[in-house]
Structure formats: structure tokens, C-alpha cells
Amino acid sequence: MNGLTFDIAHLLAGSLVLISFMMLYQDRLFALINVFALHAVVLALSVAWQAYIQDAHHLYITAGIALVFKAIVIPVGLHRIIQRLGIHRDIETAVGIGPTMLAGIGLVTLSMVLMLRVTPEADPLAREDLAFALSIILLGLLVMVTRRNAVSQVVGFMSLENGLVLAATGAKGMPLVVEISVAFSILIAFIVIGVFLFRIRERFDSVDVGALDDYRGERR
């Protein structure tokens, strides 16, 4: 493997992590969704690059799926939902941006240390990819944990899934079935959660999941 292909793969995966960081400090929903769309575009590029260097043509399909669904269909759908719900002005982080960023740095460090320790024999490209993928997964979880709004939790969940796709394409010889099933399960989850959003909205006049807790008579 020559240096350039490695560097480009590294660059793309690294920028995915960087965009995950960007998600952490978006406190407007539209901005968050736009960043997610960017995340998906970079994922598509990264997968396409993997397809090129591994000479695995089926990965182009995965890249296409990522581009079409995650960078276009889902963000547009979420934009519409937000407009219909009229919540585009909400500011809704539960934890301050500073601590969240610090926690994110800690998580990336953790996943680097862990992955480089447990995979000393693996192909260096796959190794880097796995470390980045784990960072993205953990950052996606962090987005879910630090947000109150159901829409941004959905976005966090989908960025987590992007990390899974990155991990799956980074290793050679992963069959396409896996990615398609994962992508479609995410699409289904998106639909289900969208339906749920409307249900919650109808019932409580808000998509703040805290309303559910109020309904159960709990105090926070």
C-alpha cells in the first residue's frame, strides 16, 4: 500500500471524527441536521475511496446508499418534520458545550488507545479505520445522551450508525448484505421514530422527551 492511498483514507476517516465533534456543539436543530448531512457526504466519500483502493465494486453501492439516503432523503425529511412541528427555534442541549467537548476528546483518546492495543497484528489501514469508527460511535452516543430533543437523539443515533458503516467497509471482504441491512434498518428506525414523534407531539404538544416523564408523574 502506498502512502497516498493510506493518507487519503486516513484524512476522510479523520474528518468524519471531526464532523462528529461539530455535531456536539450545534445547539440549533437545522444546523445539527446540516452537519449530519455533511457527515453522510464524507462517509460516502470515504466508502467510495475504500471501494477504489480495495477494488471492491459493491462498496460503491454502499457509498451511493449513504449519499442518497443519509445525505439527502433523511435530512430533508427531518427538515420537514421540524418545520411541521414548528420547533426550529428550540435550543436544547442538556449538558454545556464545554464539558461535552472535553468528554468527546476523552472518548476519542479512549478508543484510540483501546483499538491500537487490541489490534496489533491487523492491517494498518483497517486498524486506523476501526479506531476512528469506534470514536464516531462513542461520539454519536454522546450526542444522544447530551440532547433532550427526540429529533437530535435520532440524529445522534444515525451518526453512530455511520461509524458502524465505516468500520464495516474498512475491513476487506465484508459482504454487501451487511451494509444494506444496516442501512435499511436505520431507515426503518427513522420512519418508526418519525411516527413516534408525531404521536408524542399529538399527545403532549412537544417533542421534548421530558414530557413523557411528566406524564408518568416523575420529577426530574
Partner 1 sequence: MSSTVALLLCGPAALLATAILAAAVSRLAAATRLVYGAALVISATLLAIVASHLAGNPGAVSATTLPLGLPFTGARFRLDGLSAFFLVVVNLGGGITSLYGLGYGRHEPAPHRVLPFYPAFLAGMNLVVLADDAFSFLLSWEFMSLASWALVMAHHRDEANRRAGTIYLVMASFGTLALLLAFGTLAGPAGTYAFDAMRTAHPGRFAAGAVLVLMLLGAGSKAGLVPLHAWLPLAHPAAPSHVSALMSGIMTKVAVYGFIRVVFDLLGEPAWWSGIAVLLIGGVTAVLGILHALMEKDLKRLLAYSTIENIGVIFASLGLALAFKANAMPSAAALAFTAALFHVLNHSFFKSLLFFGAGAVLTAAGERDMEKLGGLIHRLPVTSFVFLVGCVSISALPPFNGFASEWLIFQAILRSPELPQWGLKVIVPAVGGMLALSAALAAACFVKAFGITFLGRARSAVAERAREVDRWSLAAMAVLAAFCLIAGILPGLVIDGLSPVTLSLIGDRMPVQMAEPWLSIVPIAESRSSYNGLLVFVFIAVSASLAAFFIHRFASHALRRGIAWGCGFDEAVPAAQYTAVSFAQPIRRVFGGFAFRARETVEMPAPGALEPARLKVDMHDPAWEIFYQPITGAIDFATERLNHLQFLTIRRYLTLVFVYLVILLLVLALWP
Please, which residues bridge with residue 212 across strands? none
Given the complex with partner 1, which of 47 and 130 has the nearer CB atom? 130
- What DSSP assignment string belongs to 52-74? HHHT-THHHHHHHHIIIIIIIIH
Given the complex with partner 1, which of 62 and 111 has the nearer CB atom? 111
CB of 66 to partner 1, least distance (A): 25
Strand ranges, E, within the chain: none
In the window 131-190, what residues touch partner 1 (CB under 8 A)? 138, 141-142, 144-145, 147-148, 153
CB of 128 to partner 1, least distance (A): 17
Size of the site for partner 1 (CB under 8 A): 23
Dist. CA 122–CA 131, nearest whole Å: 12
Residue range at the interface with partner 1 (CB under 8 A); choices 10-18, 36-44, 72-80, 207-215: 207-215
Neighbours of 193 (CB within 10 A): 17
What is the x/- site pattern for partner 1, positions 9-48, by CB under 8 A? ----------------------------------------
Dist. CA 218–CA 31, nearest whole Å: 32
| Half-sphere exposure at residue 215, Cβ-oriented, CA atoms within 13 angstroms | 12
**Contact between 107 and 116 (Cβ < 8 Å):** no
Please, which residues bridge with residue 91 across strands? 28
In the window 74-133, what residues touch partner 1 (CB under 8 A)? 94, 107, 110-111, 113-114, 117-118
CA 135 to chain centroid, in Å, comes to 11
What cell was used for 135? 470514536
Given the complex with partner 1, which of 8 and 144 has the nearer CB atom? 144
Q: Does 213 bind partner 1 (CB under 8 A)?
A: yes
What cell was used for 61? 453501492
Where do contacts with partner 1 occur on this chain (CB under 8 A)?
A: 94, 107, 110-111, 113-114, 117-118, 138, 141-142, 144-145, 147-148, 153, 209-210, 212-213, 216, 218, 220
